[in-house]
Structure 1
């Protein structure tokens, strides 16, 4: 496939101004401090053992309170035989994906780390049940998909709920006795990479962030130049609602992962694909160039949205091993 966006050299210099909406930090502080909608106590996370037939891992179905106390599901893999708290990789999933079967996705546990996978509300499917519903469907008038659900207001927007769920996942796994709370890395591909970037700006004290071909960055440019979903959902919505352009992009600005990344402090390892038609590289480099913490990027010049796949996993395995080796263990840091 040909290049459809800026060259790598131009992307490295691409640093567009990101509009900061009114009350941006206060909005997120208020959102993350909200109590369950029914006013009751916050439920405790539940980690239920699952028999996968695998002997080298302990696997748990996870249910924890997310946005407004809504139940969010996930899966935790722990290497068998660990004798001290482990570093943990928290993974967020791509658009439309679910956590799959309980014996899948054991790479990080095979490397000796705890691994928590979060279901994205309303998306995906799990053969074991326990998928996460989106109990707030948002306002009417959206096009198919999730990107314009509730876009009429930041308070009703879909990703307000998703980003809060993700923050709650990190908080929950930090309290697990098998996990070292000072060694938490967040990661994901595409939508998952955008969620990881958002979390990097909302959760202090992360050990690292690994966004791969991240979605949800520089929404306006994505909607203007991407010819493939999901960014096209925004363009389709505005094609129908010609008078809502300003409102839509104001709402989206509260959820721009590139803007949230300007609040990040943890080390980051990005990957970006230069022939990506789904998450154009200039949108990904918007996040990378604005990222406020220490950062590295692996650019895959002749790949599309598949990115680096196993090559990037190899980079990540070495990066996390080095990162965790240099981060003090122990639970005193969150006392």
Structure 2
């Protein structure tokens, strides 16, 4: 794959007009307030993860519509807490999987909370098993999740997922192992897009995050993505609109409520992004659009960094980025006076 998007100097200055709906904040405030009418009912049950240095707890809590959302909470073995915490969201098709599969941040000494993504998890298997049992899940859509309920922001698939993500923060904060004042969010691809959304919406739920670390994030600047890449998962939207030719304006209006450019503007926590300049799944210009807009609606724009991988595709930095995150989390999650 060659570099196909804007040159790096243009990407650094790329600030497109991504129109936010006038009721964006009110929409999300109402959504989170409605979610809180359901008892969070967060439970943490220790499981045998087959590991000697990590303890794992099977998590269940009430997400959008009161639906049960699964997760894992990993902590260093015999930890007593409260610990600085990293909350992780997964990429498209991913899920929490087996309890031994994803626990890097617990290895680094943090509490590590992972959220299953409703309806997904088919590439992870194992303990993934959170259903998307919403009546809107079966509305006309292209195969996949990107266009499920796209006719209205209320029914759109990511309305449910983003509420689940914020409720996951609330659930994590109820654990004895979690320091509620020292939480950061992270994720790659779809997980990066969810992390941006969680960072933007946390304040509406009264939660102050210390950091947001999205890797090669998805769900950013939808319109640009559809113009320059045919790769899935964005391609699902193209196929839908190829058939439903009269739904273009409606679809873009819905997507504007979930765009990482618009939600990232609301964030107040420092951020560490990553981008790969040969990424045709999440094109660099869509990532930079979100990065350059991140935190700009705040009274005081947060500190921002971006790691750039010039010759990589959607795999991004992988272990190089993990090394950068280990240093970054250590700097932002240290004990505050």
1:267, distance to aligned residue in structure 2 (A):
0.5
Q: Indicate conservation of the 8 Å contact 1:139/1:152, yes or no.
A: no
Cα offset for 1:56?
Answer: 1.2
Once superposed, which parts of structure 1, at least 4 consecutive aligned residues long, lie more than 3 Å away?
125-130
Say which of 225, 230, 234 aligns to 1:227.
230
Q: TM-score, normalised by structure 1?
A: 0.94
**Conserved 8 A contact 2:97-2:127:** no
Mapping for residues 320-331 of structure 1, pairs under 5 Å: 320-325=329-334, 327-328=336-337
Secondary structure, counterpart of 1:138 in structure 2: helix
| 1:182 partner SS | strand
Check the 8 A contact 1:265/1:294 in 2, yes or no: no
Distance in 2 (CA, whole Å) between partners of 1:121 and 1:13 is 36
Answering whether residue 94 of structure 2 is matched by residue 91 of structure 1, we say no
Distance across 2 between alignment mates of 1:327 and 1:224: 45
Q: TM-score, normalised by structure 2?
A: 0.93
Deviation at 1:43, TM superposition (A): 4.5
User: Of 235, 238, 242, which aligns to 1:239?
Assistant: 242
Deviation of 1:173 (Å) = 0.6
Stretch of structure 1 that moved more, 213-222 or 317-326: 317-326
- Please state if 1:318 is matched with 2:327: yes
Is the 2:35–2:63 contact (alpha carbons within 8 Å) kept by the matching residues of 1?
Answer: no
Question: 2:62 maps to which residue?
Answer: 65
Alpha-carbon offset, residue 130 of structure 1: 5.7
Equivalent pairs counted in the alignment come to: 325
**5+ long unaligned stretches in structure 1:** 329-335
8 Å contact from structure 1 (residues 4, 275) kept in 2: yes
Match of 1:288? 291
| CA–CA separation in structure 2 for the residues paired with 1:211 and 1:224 | 23
**Which residue of the other structure, out of 132, 137, 153, is the alignment partner of 2:130?**
132
Question: Unaligned stretches of 5+ in structure 2?
Answer: 296-301
Give yes or no for contact 1:88–1:179 (8 Å, CA) kept in 2: yes
Task: Give the root-mean-square deviation of aligned CA atoms.
Answer: 1.4
Partner of 1:300 in structure 2?
309
State which of 256, 260, 276 in structure 2 corresponds to 1:257: 260
Q: Is the 8 A contact 2:229 2:283 kept in 1?
A: yes
SS in 2 for 1:284: helix
Correspondence list, 1:32-51, <5 A = 32-35=32-35, 42-51=39-48
